[in-house]
Structure formats: C-alpha cells, structure tokens
Amino acid sequence: MSEWLRRRGFAIALVVAITAAGTAYLRSWAVAHSAWKRDLQSAGFVDEMPGPSRGDRILVVAPHPDDEVLGCGGLIQQAVAAGAEIHVVLMTNGDGSQLSLIFGERKLPWRPGAYVDLGRKRQQESRTALALQGLEARSIHYLGYPNAGLLAMWRPEHWRYSDPYQSPYTHVSFSPYPSSFTPGAPYCGQQVLADLLTILRQVRPTAIFVTHPKDIHPDHWATCCFVRYALASLAVGGASWARETKVYGYLIHWPRYPQPVGLAPSRYLLPPSSLSGRDAGWFRLSLTAEQVKRKMQGIRTYGSQEPRFDRLMLSFARRNESFEILPVTDAQEGTPTRWSGQDSHRRGLGGVELTGVDLTVTNRLAVRADVTRRPQRLPRDGYIGLDLRTWSVHGAPVITTAYVRDGDQISAMRLGPATEVEELRGTALSRAPGRLEIAGLALPRDSAAPRDVFVTCWGSIRDRATDPAVVSWVRLRDTSD
C-alpha cells in the first residue's frame, strides 16, 4: 500500500511539475509574443502576413517592368514554392523614360522608335527577372499601354474609344507591341478596363497586389484606380467572388522611401511613418535570406534602369515586403466619409496639396465634397479633380467629374454609356482659407447599383497629378440600418 502511495505521489508530483513547466513556458511565450507584437506595431505593421498556400489565386499588377519585382518579388517566390496559382500583369512596357534611354541605353531620345525599342527591352528584362523568381512566361501578361499615360486614360477626356490618348514618346495611340494582351489595343480607358475585366474573370483571384493608391507616381495610383474599379464592376455586376477578393497595396514611390537608400538586405522594409498609424493596415511578409538574394538578382536584371536608379531599386531587397490592405469604404448615407492626405513633404510642384476630403452622399442622387487643401490659392494651371463613377443599368461605367480651378471656378461633366458628354451644374464655395465645398453634383438616376460609388480625388497642375488623395470603392448603407 505504501509503495502504491509512493508511486501515486510521484506521478502527481510529475504531473504538477510538467504543468508548472508548461505554464511557465506558455507565460514566457505569451510575454515574448506580446513584445513581438508591440515591436511589429511600433514599426508600423498590423501583423505578420502568412505566406501564400496551395489553392490561393494571386494576381500581381504593376505599372512598369521592375515594379513587380521591387514590390512583390519575394511574394512571387513564395507563391510559386507553395503551389499557388499566380499571374503578373504589366500595365505598360515602361517605354516613356528619357533617362533610361540616356543613362541606361546610352541613346539620345530623338526618334519614337527608340522608345518602342526601350519598351521591348524592358519587357524582356521583366521576363528574365520573373523567371529568376520562379514564374513561368505563360503567367505574365503584358498589356502594352503607354508609360506616363495611365492617368490620362483614367480621366474622361481619353476614356472612350473615339478619344484615344497619343503617347508623346512613341507617337502612337495604340499598342505597337505584338505580344500585348490585346494586340493593337487603343490607348483609352475603355480598353484598359476591358483587358482587366477579362483577366480578372479568367484568374478569379483570391488576392490582388497592386501599387498603393498613395503612391505619388501618377501611373502607379492610376493603376490602382483601374484595378479596383474593374473588381468593383464585377462585384456590382453579380460576381460574388469579387466581393471576397482581398486587395493589397505595395508602395514604390514616396518621399524618402525606402530608408536608408541603398543595398541593405539585413534591414527591414518599413512603411513610411506618414502612412502608418491608427487607421493604416500594413502587413509584413518576411523573406528568407535565399529569397532576398533571388529578389536582388531579379532587380539587377533591369539594366536599362542603371546606373541612375540602381541604388534606389536595390533598397527594396530587404528582409520583408510591406503591403497595406485596401478595404472597401463602408459609409452611411448622409454621414461624411473622411479621407486624409498625410504627406506633408510633397515634392516641389508648386501647390495643390490636398490634406483631406469629406465626401457626403446626401441622398442617392447627390454628393457634397468638402476638400481641404493648403491655405494658399490654387496655382496657375492647377486644379482639384473629383471623380465619381457609378454603373448604368447595363453595367457600363458612368463617369461624373468636376474640376475646380483657380478662383474656385468649377466645370463638371458626365460621360455615360452613350458617346455624348453632358455638362453638369455644380458649385464650388470657399468656406475658409484652404477649405472648398463642391456641392450640388448630382449622381445619375438610373444606376444599376445606386449604393455603390467609386471615388477618386486629386490635385493637378496642367496634366501632372500632384496628390492622389482618394481612391476608394464606397458602399452605402441605409440610414435606417
């Protein structure tokens, strides 16, 4: 009996010891995990992003050859290794870079054919760089649109097939590249949207990675506009999978980003402090040393960009990649929806710094936008553009755009499924220094999705955008909800 008690006592003591050790381990793990989370958040991240897995369908969209590897080279490697389906879309071939011709190709940009040759070379560089990341050529889609022309095609002036944009570099208004997704694609917004809709329907992505809407390069945030609008079009048209697709933004162009400039593979790639904070949703995707090495090799294949840009480009070969989730804005009718422009260090283009936009849909048929800018007047040839896109009963885009110019004069237009342009009434009222209210801008009555509005707002000097303040798909709730 005493032997049985001794054995039982030993067993109890062993269980108590194991339990105590386990509890201590769990407590230490919880403390370490909590400290890790605090460190992650202090660096500007919400959380660590899990890597891709088999069954994921991933679409990476880049404005120019090199952006896809700079922003997502490690992600592409992980997706290929995991057996996920992954596709890369290049919006342009990067054929409008005079600096690349002069410093990279050692050519004078004196003839349009030189730019087309540059586009072909950059396309091949992209194919080589992506092969180093493990991606097969059949998963790369080159759309062939004009470098430095995506924003022009997003705007209503060059949206229609009847009003194509002509590249000032290649001097053509259609894609001159036989390998384009749509050979001979006309340079207009309708065709860009058609290509993206076709690709989205084919891939049905579970996640999309696209350049960030705050990226200060107009081609970059215009790419985000096109991609998110195409996805929204499918969703309001009844594609249930499109409402479940997650969209992430990756940043390439931003003042003093990345820091420090230059090759630093042991450092983390942190989001800019001016774009991180309480309302931001940045995630960190950690990379292995081998993945960083292969990404670095991919970056170095873009010889057309060297020697002018090599230090900046190699700054993206670091221990992680950074992505911010870009959710749909869920707004209530009659309640202002607020967006902030957080860049206080805009490069010197002379003004039009949008610091915030309050958009109120007063009912289904009208909006009021309260735009906050720096207290100075709009510069000469400067304007603020407010763009509201809805969908006709047939699912076609209906574009309502207002331009506010110096002296707070407003011109507004609507471009519907028909070819004519409708002039609209609207008012622009200066409420206080730096505050401007755009009122009385009516939305169409026959919208197929009356509670879905796609909003963009920007500042511009002539045709050069200076501030992408808003890019968002807004879904409205009933006030009775």
With beta carbons less than 8 A apart as the criterion, state whether 171 and 112 touch. Answer: yes
Q: What is the mean predicted confidence (pLDDT) over 3-17?
A: 62
DSSP class per residue in 393-421: TTS-EEEEEEEEETTTEEEEEEE-SSS-E
- Look at residues 253, 244, 208 and name the one whose alpha carbon lies nearest to residue 226: 208
Residue 33: per-residue pLDDT: 47
Over the stretch 90-149, which tens digit does the pLDDT of each residue have? Answer: 999 998 765 554 444 445 555 777 889 889 999 999 999 999 999 999 999 999 999 999
- Look at residues 307, 268, 297 and name the one whose alpha carbon lies nearest to residue 73: 297
Q: What does the block give as tokens for 217?
A: 């390069």
With beta carbons less than 8 A apart as the criterion, state whether 353 and 340 touch. Answer: no
Looking up tokens 């002296």 gives 407
For the ranges 74-78, 135-139, 278-282, 345-349, which has the lowest average pLDDT? Answer: 345-349
Peptide bond into 156 cis (omega under 30): no
With beta carbons less than 8 A apart as the criterion, state whether 388 and 367 touch. Answer: yes
With beta carbons less than 8 A apart as the criterion, state whether 449 and 384 touch. Answer: no
- Please state the separation of Cα 45 from the chain's center in Å: 17
Residue 307: per-residue pLDDT: 57
Query: Residue 476: which H helix or E strand, with range?
Result: strand 464-477
End-to-end CA distance of the chain: 71
DSSP secondary structure code for residue 102 in this structure = I
Architecture of domain 48-325: 3-Layer(aba) Sandwich (3.40)
Q: How far is it, in rounded angstroms, from Cα 16 to Cα 22?
A: 10
> pTM of the entire structure?
0.88
Q: How confident is the model at residue 349 (pLDDT cuts 50, 70, 90)?
A: very low
For the ranges 24-38, 168-182, 260-274, which has the lowest average pLDDT? Answer: 24-38
Looking up tokens 């009847």 gives 162
**Mean of the per-residue pLDDT values for the chain?**
83
Residue 370: per-residue pLDDT: 75
Residue 1: per-residue pLDDT: 53
User: Mapping DSSP to helix (H, G, I), strand (E, B) and coil, where does residue 354 land?
Assistant: strand
Count CB atoms within 10 A of the CB of residue 347.
9
In the predicted model, is pLDDT for residue 481 greater than 50?
no
Q: How confident is the model at residue 208 (pLDDT cuts 50, 70, 90)?
A: very high
In the predicted model, is pLDDT for residue 65 greater than 50?
yes
Q: What is the mean predicted confidence (pLDDT) over 296-318?
A: 86
Q: What does the block give as tokens for 45?
A: 């991240």
Residue 363: per-residue pLDDT: 62
For the ranges 51-60, 97-106, 368-377, which has the lowest average pLDDT? Answer: 97-106
Locate the domains of the chain by residue range.
Answer: 48-325, 329-477
